[in-house]
Amino acid sequence: MGIVKISDLMHENLRVASNALSRSINAQAEHWMRIGMLAELHPHLDHRDICQLLIRAEKAGGLDLDTAAALAPVAALPATGQH
């Protein structure tokens, strides 16, 4: 575990979202970090696909970078017409 410094505004946003979603501030921050990490690793996925990926990762033992990269659905890749 480490310490991450964030702005006062982000902390307030986390506080509001965590209260609204019945999560701790830390759990809300981790949730947003997971979503953001997966969105950067897999820009072709929408929020629904990312949530499904998180569920598959949890079933596979948790989310690490290797798991996050391996669990992206191939069908979600955009068709480019190139082979």
pLDDT, residue 77, reads: 47
pLDDT, residue 78, reads: 52
Residue stretches of the chain with pLDDT short of 70? 71-83
Q: Assess contact for 45 and 51: CB atoms under 8 A.
A: no
pLDDT, residue 46, reads: 93
Q: Which is nearest to 36 in space by CA: 56, 54, 12, 22?
A: 54
Q: Which two tokens stand for residue 74?
A: 């191939």
pLDDT, residue 53, reads: 84
pLDDT, residue 76, reads: 46
Q: List Cβ neighbours of 13 (8 Å cut-off, separation of 6 or more).
A: none
